Amino acid sequence: MESRNKFVLIVLSIISIILIGITSFNDSIISPLRQAVGIVLLPVQSGVNTAGRAVYDNIEEQRKIHSAITENIELNKKIDELTQENTKLMADNGELARLRELYKLDESYSDYPKVGARVVAKDSTKWFSTFTIDKGSDDGIAVDMNVIGYGGLIGIVTDVGKNYATVRAVIDDISRVSAMSLRTGALCRVDGNLEQYNEGRLILRDVKSDADVNEGDMIVTSNVSTKYLPNILIGYARDLKDDSSRLTKSGYIIPVVNFDTISEVLVITKLKEVSDQ
C-alpha cells in the first residue's frame, strides 16, 4: 500500500516533468485538450462571474443611489457648461483632422476593426497578470492580436479557444513591447515588471542616450514591433536616467490603463503584417 503510493507519486511526477519538457518547446500538443476544457469551463466561468458580479453590483448600486441625487443637481449645471465647451471642441476637431493628415497619423488605432469582450476570469495569484475573455476564434480572434481599452494598450492574446481567449497584460513580468516616443519616433522598449507595477509603473529601457525622449512624452507601440500594431498608447515616460554603460537611457512608464479594474476590453482583429524587407 505504502510503496504503491510512492510508486504512483514517482510515476506521475516523472510524467509531468516530461510533459513540462515537451510543452515548453511545443505546446500545440496540449492545446486541443486546453480548448476542450475551455469550451466546457467558459459557461461555468461566465455563470459564476455574472452571479458574483450581480451581487457585488447590487451592493454598489445601493451605495451609488445615495450619492446620485446630489450628483444629479451638480451634473445638470455641468451640462450647460459642457454644451458650450462642445461647440468649441467641434471647431477644434476640424483642426485636428487637418493636422492629422499633416502628420500622416492616418493609422490611428480608432480605425482598426475591433471586437469587444468581457473579462471572465483572472489569475488569482499576484505572480501573473493574465486573464480570460469571453470571445474566441468564433468571433475572429487569433493569437498575437492586440488588446486595448481604457485609452491604451492592455496586452496581447496568447491563447485562443473556440469561445474564449487568454490575454497577457503588458504588466506581466515576461511582457516586452517594442515602443517609441510619439513626438519624435525614438525607439525604446517597455518591459512589464512585477516589482515596478506594485508602484504603478512599467520599465522603459533601451532608449539611445542621444535619442530625443523627454519626461512626460507619450510612449506608443512602435512601427518596428513584430506583434504590436503601431501608435497604440502605452503611457507616459518618467525618470529617465543614463544607464551605467552611458549608451542607453532607461526610466519608467506610467501606464494610462488601470490594470486592477479591467472588466471590458477591445481586441483589434487585425494582425500586424510584418513586411519581409
Partner 1 sequence: MRRIIVNIAFIIFAFALQICIFPFIPFLYASPNLLIILTFTYGFSLGVEEGMLYGLICGILMDLYVAGPFGFFTFLFLWIGFINGKLSTYFYEEYIVLPVAVCAASEVMYNVFIYIFKFLIREKFNVVFYIKNIIIPEVVITLIFTLILYRFLLWYNKKLRVLDSRGINR
**Which parts of this chain interact with partner 1 (CB under 8 A)?**
5, 8-9, 12-13, 15-21, 23-24, 27, 30, 33-34, 37-38, 41, 44-45, 48-49, 52-53, 56, 120-128, 130, 132, 158-159, 166, 168, 173-174, 194-195, 198, 260-261, 263
Min dist CB 177 to partner 1, Å, is: 17
Min dist CB 51 to partner 1, Å, is: 8
- Residue 62 identity (one-letter amino acid): Q
Min dist CB 74 to partner 1, Å, is: 25
Task: Please say which residue, 109 or 201, places its beta carbon nearer to partner 1.
Answer: 201
- Residue 124 identity (one-letter amino acid): S
Task: Please say which residue, 220 or 257, places its beta carbon nearer to partner 1.
Answer: 257
Calpha distance 234→218 (Å, rounded): 8
Task: Please say which residue, 167 or 180, places its beta carbon nearer to partner 1.
Answer: 167
Distant-in-sequence, close-in-space partners of 140: CB < 8 Å, separation ≥ 6: 115, 269
Task: Please say which residue, 159 or 217, places its beta carbon nearer to partner 1.
Answer: 159
Min dist CB 268 to partner 1, Å, is: 20
Contact 221, 155 (CB under 8 A): no
Task: Please say which residue, 166 or 181, places its beta carbon nearer to partner 1.
Answer: 166
Calpha distance 35→137 (Å, rounded): 11
Cα–Cα distances in angstroms (integers) from residue 117 to residues 52, 120, 144, 166, 254, in the given order:
18, 9, 16, 11, 25
Calpha distance 190→171 (Å, rounded): 9
Calpha distance 147→44 (Å, rounded): 24
Min dist CB 161 to partner 1, Å, is: 11
Task: Please say which residue, 93 or 158, places its beta carbon nearer to partner 1.
Answer: 158
Min dist CB 165 to partner 1, Å, is: 11
Dihedral of the alpha carbons of 98, 99, 105, 108, in degrees to the nearest 10: -70
